[in-house]
Amino acid sequence: MPDNKETTSVKTKINLIPGTINENDAKNIVSKYSEHHSVQVQKLIYYPYYWFLFSFTVKTLFGKSRSTKASCLVDLINNHAATTDSFDIAEKEVLTAGILEQDYTQEQALKTAKTYLMHSSIHNMKVLFAPDSEILKQSLVHKPFWIVKCTNRDRHSFKVIVDAVTGKFQVL
């Protein structure tokens, strides 16, 4: 059985959405909004998603619309979907310990993505016609997040995740 040091240095190849926010950037972003706190970047983690690129068209009273591409990421821990901007994917070796385990399968993710797109198209496009969709590309991808810890003078602390791709953050 490998010792702890070996376990934490094991690497795995994953499809990564490459981030431009480095450790120092993450620290600066959080520090900007947390004066009087000591800010410490704890680790980089990789969040699992299933990515689908759909092409779809909608029938309207004026005929069929032009086909449109919709990029959809399904969070494999919560099984929630969201549309997304286009992004690059790079194959990269990362520390296995930083990869979060997925709780949902590709099949479940596809169902969620289709339901979400259907809902979005009906609501936001106000269509009463079901869109015809086709999957152009799909892949298991991971997105990097920095986990940053903030501690105040009373030693109360909280954690923040910083999206290493966009620099946006959320309190944990």
Partner 1 sequence: MNPVVLIFLVFYYVVVVGIGFWAVKKGGAKDLEGYLLGGRKVGPLVTAMTLQSTSMSGYMFLGGGSAGYTTGYWSIWYAVGDIGGGVVNLSVIGRRMRKLSKILGSLTSIEYLEHRYPHAATRLISGSLSVFLLFFYVLAQFIAGGKGMALVTGLPYGAALAIAVGIIMLYTFMGGYFAVAYTDFFQSMVMVIGMIWIFAATMINVGGFTAVNESIAQIDPTYLSIWGKDLANQYAWSDLLGAVLIFSVGYMGWPHVVTRHMAMESPKTARLAGVYSTIWNLFFVTAPYLLGIFAIIVLPNLADPEMAIFTLASELLPAAVTGIVMAAIMAAIMSTADSILLQVGTIASRDIFQRFFHPKATDHQMVWVSRILVLIFGIVGLIIAVFNPPGVFAVTIFTTSVLGSAFLPAYVCAVWWKKANTPGALSSIIGGALSAFLFEKLGTGIDPMLGGLIVSWLLIIIVSKATQKSHPVADYIVKAMDEAIKIGPIPKDMLAKSDFNLAQEASGINKKIDK
Give residues in contact with partner 1 (CB under 8 A): 30, 33-35, 37, 45, 47, 58-63, 65-66, 68-70, 75, 77-80, 82-85, 100-101, 114-130, 145, 147, 150, 152, 154, 156-158, 160-161, 163, 168-172
Of 120 and 138, CB closest to partner 1: 120
- The minimum distance between CB 15 and partner 1, in angstroms, equals 17
- Least distance CB 88 / partner 1 (angstroms): 16
CB of 132 to partner 1, least distance (A): 9
* Smallest gap from residue 42 Cβ to partner 1 (A): 11
Nearer Cβ to partner 1, position 77 or 90?
A: 77
Task: Rank residues 92 and 129 by Cβ distance to partner 1 and give the closer one.
Answer: 129
Residues in CB range of 98: below 8 A, 6 or more apart: 43, 44, 45, 46
Kind plus residue range of the DSSP H or E element containing 157? strand 157-163
Alpha-carbon span 162 to 146, nearest angstrom:
5
Specify the residue for token string 């994917």.
89
Residue with tokens 């496009």: 125
CA distance 99 to 102: 9
Residue 63's region, left for phi above 0, alpha for psi from -120 to 50, else beta, is left
